């Protein structure tokens, strides 16, 4: 009898604990974005749509389906009962999930068991993604083992395309999970927002902007590149030890002289370099609909003259994301004003309707400096290292980057916007371990710009 009473007490404690979890803590637990139960209750989950309403993620027969498969997998993400959520499925989980189900575990359980289609429905998430532009970006990047890119409307910050290669098919996530996580190419990694790379010579846009803004150089300043520049025990050289001779600032920029930009960085100085980096948002958290990795900057007190010289052309310990470089291109295109990037245009069917309004983050440079930079970037494509990005009838502004790294061949970069006179599209692309940015990344950007500009006229 004593043993029986003990069991009754234990069961009562267990029942009270279960009641506390289900009734008191239940709504909070249900709202957690990593709660896999949301993915299991696919019947009431809202859809994720492209900008034209094309379904990117929908629930059919109690199953989450991704009609575009790997094309938009990194941005849309996945919702799995076993592995949780990622991408927009994770970031907007509370919006997508049917609210009555999230608040009432008993209703949730009934729908799970019955598969009833009468469950309350979550809101739809309408993105800014333009599928033809997305296809063009993925097609260009897909020719290489590892690459990433971001396409923005510099006037608003709307993300027209966002891609990372290799990708994966979220429809086959559960069956292929072991293979995906074991793959050394990291297909689950979104390189566009989480990949950190040395920016190489694309960062000369920032160096030139800061130098012009501070008045340490002008467009008429001249520089002489004899093939090398020694600071202490370190000698700066150009790729393939090229020699660009004597050039004005635009010429040094168009021919991408590391020797010249190392000297410009030294003129800027450590203090002003870090002040300018803060204005550009470097190292700060990015407000975006998806998580974005923070840029990595060296510690100020560890920056020697030789390191500062390397920072001038995007090397040393500086690491940035493709999203950051797309925003830098968009800032120059937008007359020195940095737009806030966004991937979700509006929510449809939620209790709290949301329609994204274009915002700005910062104005790191003046309109005059931005327009001077625009002319310099046009020269890169017209007669410099970025001629592979030329488009018939369109003035393209761009900057190549060939970023050395300790793990193999250089990363190829290209950032651009067009048309230069009234920019409607800004792009950043990085291709890992292939070589020159002008050879590999610039042609990809050219095709993306061609499609995006045609779409923007519609």
Q: What pLDDT, on the 0 to 100 scale, is given for residue 196?
A: 97
Confirm whether 2 is domain-assigned: no
Q: What pLDDT, on the 0 to 100 scale, is given for residue 180?
A: 96
pLDDT tens per residue, range 330-384: 999 999 999 999 999 999 875 556 777 889 989 999 999 999 999 999 999 999 9
30 lies in the same domain as 72: yes
Give the residue, 6 or 197, on which the prediction is more confident.
197
Q: What is the mean pLDDT of residues 198-211?
A: 97
Contacts of 195 (CB under 8 A, 6+ apart): 148, 164, 189, 293, 321, 322, 430
Confirm whether 227 is domain-assigned: yes
Rg (CA), the chain: 25
Strand, helix or coil at 109?
Answer: helix
52: how many CB neighbours lie within 10 A of its CB? 10
Distance from the Cα of residue 265 to its chain's centroid: 27
Q: What pLDDT, on the 0 to 100 scale, is given for residue 197?
A: 96
How far separated are the first and last CA of the chain, in Å rounded?
82
Q: What pLDDT, on the 0 to 100 scale, is given for residue 201?
A: 96
pLDDT tens per residue, range 12-67: 888 788 877 766 666 566 556 556 555 555 668 899 999 999 999 999 888 999 99
116 lies in the same domain as 20: yes
Split at pLDDT 50, 70, 90, the class of 108 is: low
106 lies in the same domain as 141: no
Highest mean pLDDT out of 11-15, 115-119, 282-286, 350-354: 282-286
Domains: count for the chain: 2
Split at pLDDT 50, 70, 90, the class of 243 is: confident
Q: What is the mean pLDDT of residues 314-339?
A: 97
Quote the tokens at residue 423: 């920019």
332 lies in the same domain as 263: yes
Decide if pLDDT at 434 tops 50: yes
DSSP string, 259-317: HHHHHHHHHH-HHHHHHHHHHTTTTSPP-SSS--PPPB---GGG--HHHHHHHTTT-TT
Number of H helices and E strands in the chain, helices first, is 19, 19
DSSP string, 137-168: HHHHHTTSSSEEEEEE-TTT-BEEEEEEES--
Which domain covers residue 407, as residue numbers? 131-169+181-343+357-456
Confirm whether 349 is domain-assigned: no
Q: What pLDDT, on the 0 to 100 scale, is given for residue 378?
A: 98
CB 150 within 8 A of CB 427: yes
Q: CA-to-CA distance for 195 and 429, rounded, in angstroms?
A: 12
Confirm whether 3 is domain-assigned: no
pLDDT tens per residue, range 369-403: 999 999 999 999 999 999 999 999 999 999 999 99
Q: What pLDDT, on the 0 to 100 scale, is given for residue 102?
A: 43
Report the mean per-residue pLDDT for the chain.
90
Q: What is the mean pLDDT of residues 291-312?
A: 95
155 lies in the same domain as 193: yes
Q: What is the mean pLDDT of residues 176-205?
A: 96
270 lies in the same domain as 150: yes
Confirm whether 176 is domain-assigned: no
Q: What pLDDT, on the 0 to 100 scale, is given for residue 237?
A: 87
* CATH value at residue 24: 3.90.1310.10
206 lies in the same domain as 118: no
Confirm whether 395 is domain-assigned: yes
Decide if pLDDT at 433 tops 80: yes
CA-CA-CA-CA torsion sign (373, 411, 224, 214) = positive
Torsion (CA) 63, 96, 163, 127 in degrees, nearest 10: 120
Q: CA-to-CA distance for 168 and 180, rounded, in angstroms?
A: 8
**What are the φ/ψ torsions at residue 354 (nearest 5 degrees)?**
-135, 130
3: how many CB neighbours lie within 10 A of its CB? 7
Decide if pLDDT at 198 tops 90: yes
Q: What pLDDT, on the 0 to 100 scale, is given for residue 42?
A: 64
Last residue of a domain, one of 97, 127, 157: 127
152 lies in the same domain as 82: no
145 lies in the same domain as 103: no
156 lies in the same domain as 222: yes
Strand, helix or coil at 406?
Answer: coil
Decide if pLDDT at 5 tops 70: yes
Confirm whether 10 is domain-assigned: no
Percent of the chain predicted with pLDDT > 70: 89
CB 394 within 8 A of CB 418: yes
Quote the tokens at residue 316: 């040393």
**Which pTM was predicted?**
0.87
Which of 59, 201, 257, 410 is flagged as catalytic?
A: 201
Q: Is 116 a catalytic residue?
A: no
Confirm whether 4 is domain-assigned: no
Enclosing H/E stretch for 339: strand 338-339
* CATH value at residue 259: 3.40.710.10
CB 335 within 8 A of CB 154: no
Q: What pLDDT, on the 0 to 100 scale, is given for residue 12?
A: 83
**Alpha-helix residue ranges (DSSP H) falling in 20-86:** 26-31, 37-40, 73-76
Quote the tokens at residue 153: 């409307």
**CA-wise closest residue to 327 among 270, 287, 268, 381:** 287
Contacts of 307 (CB under 8 A, 6+ apart): 298, 316, 317
Decide if pLDDT at 269 tops 60: yes
Q: What pLDDT, on the 0 to 100 scale, is given for residue 353?
A: 61
365 lies in the same domain as 222: yes
pLDDT tens per residue, range 121-178: 789 999 999 999 999 999 999 999 999 999 999 999 999 999 999 999 999 999 999 9
Contacts of 73 (CB under 8 A, 6+ apart): 66, 87, 167, 168, 169, 170
280 lies in the same domain as 378: yes
């Amino acid at each position: 009898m004593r043993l029986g009473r003990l069991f009754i007490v234990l069961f009562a404690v267990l029942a009270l604990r279960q009641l506390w979890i289900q009734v008191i803590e239940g709504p909070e637990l249900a709202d957690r974005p990593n709660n896999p139960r949301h993915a299991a209750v696919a019947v009431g989950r809202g859809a994720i749509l492209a900008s034209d309403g094309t379904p990117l993620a929908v629930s059919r027969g109690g199953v989450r389906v991704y009609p575009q498969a790997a094309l938009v997998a990194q941005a849309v993400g996945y919702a799995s009962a076993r592995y949780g959520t990622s991408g927009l499925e994770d970031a907007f989980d509370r919006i997508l999930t049917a609210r009555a189900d999230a608040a009432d575990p008993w209703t949730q359980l009934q729908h799970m068991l019955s598969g009833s289609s009468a469950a309350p429905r979550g809101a739809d998430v309408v993105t800014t993604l333009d599928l033809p532009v997305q296809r063009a970006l993925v097609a260009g990047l897909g020719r290489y083992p590892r690459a990433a890119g971001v396409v923005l409307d510099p006037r608003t910050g709307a993300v027209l395309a966002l891609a990372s290669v290799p990708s994966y098919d979220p429809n086959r996530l559960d069956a292929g999970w072991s293979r995906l996580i074991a793959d050394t190419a990291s297909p689950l990694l979104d390189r566009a927002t989480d990949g950190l790379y040395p920016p190489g010579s694309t960062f000369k846009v920032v160096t030139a902007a800061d130098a012009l803004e501070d008045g340490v150089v002008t467009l008429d300043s001249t520089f002489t590149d004899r093939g090398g520049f020694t600071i202490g025990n370190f000698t700066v050289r150009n790729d393939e030890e090229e020699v660009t001779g004597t050039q004005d600032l635009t010429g040094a920029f168009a021919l991408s002289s590391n020797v010249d930009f190392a000297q410009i960085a030294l003129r800027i100085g450590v203090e002003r370099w870090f002040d300018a980096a803060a204005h550009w948002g470097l190292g700060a958290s990015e407000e975006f609909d998806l998580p974005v990795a923070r840029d990595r900057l060296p510690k100020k007190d560890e920056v020697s003259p030789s390191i500062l010289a390397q920072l001038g052309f995007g090397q040393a310990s500086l690491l940035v994301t493709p999203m950051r470089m797309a925003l830098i291109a968009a800032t120059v295109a937008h007359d020195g004003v940095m737009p806030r990037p966004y991937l979700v245009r509006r929510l449809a069917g939620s209790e709290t309707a949301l329609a994204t309004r274009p915002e700005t983050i910062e104005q790191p440079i003046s309109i005059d400096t931005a327009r001077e930079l625009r002319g310099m970037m046009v020269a890169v494509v017209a007669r410099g290292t970025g001629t592979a990005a030329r488009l018939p009838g369109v003035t393209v502004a761009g900057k190549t980057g060939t970023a050395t790294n300790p793990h193999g061949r250089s990363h190829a970069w290209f950032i651009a916007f067009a048309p230069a006179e009234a920019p409607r599209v800004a792009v950043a692309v990085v291709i890992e371990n292939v070589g020159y940015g002008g050879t590999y990344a610039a042609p990809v950007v050219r095709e993306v710009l061609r499609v995006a500009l045609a779409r923007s006229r519609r």
